[in-house]
Amino acid sequence: MYLLRAIVRPEKSPIVMNALLNAGFPAVTKLSVFGRGKQRGLKVGNVTYDELPKDLLMIVIPEKDKDFVIETIIESARSGDKGQFGDGKIFVTPVTETYTISSGKKEI
């Protein structure tokens, strides 16, 4: 299994979550976050905004679905056909174990 952490534009978050739901992946954790990427924020005139609002979406998926889910996120989070700076990033991390808190059962 893998944990995918997708940092996306806040206005794209509902679109990504709906695309994941329609693709059969309804379980997503969403956090509002602030940060900056390689472009080091946004400069408007003499003012630099170096902490931009983003949404962090976290989803745990089976190994066999990794590429499909990543492509679903990319397609739904990208701005326009070619994308833009600030569209976000996806981080992929292996998950070795999960537990359901209510039952205490190990899932993997």
Rounded CA gap, 91 and 77, in Å?
14
Q: Per-residue pLDDT tens for 26-60?
A: 999 999 999 877 777 677 778 777 888 999 999 99
Residue 90 located in a structural domain: yes
Q: d(Cα 70, Cα 66) in Å, to the nearest integer?
A: 6
Tokens 């979406």 found at:
57
Domain contains 100: no
For residue 31, the domain's CATH number is: 3.30.70.120
Instruction: Please identify which residue in the block is written with the tokens 């609002």.
Output: 53
Confidence of residue 17 (pLDDT cuts 50, 70, 90): very high
Domain span at 38: 2-94
- Choose among 72, 65, 94, 62: nearest CA to 8: 72
For residue range 56-82, what is the model confidence (pLDDT) as tens digits?
Answer: 999 999 999 999 999 999 999 999 888
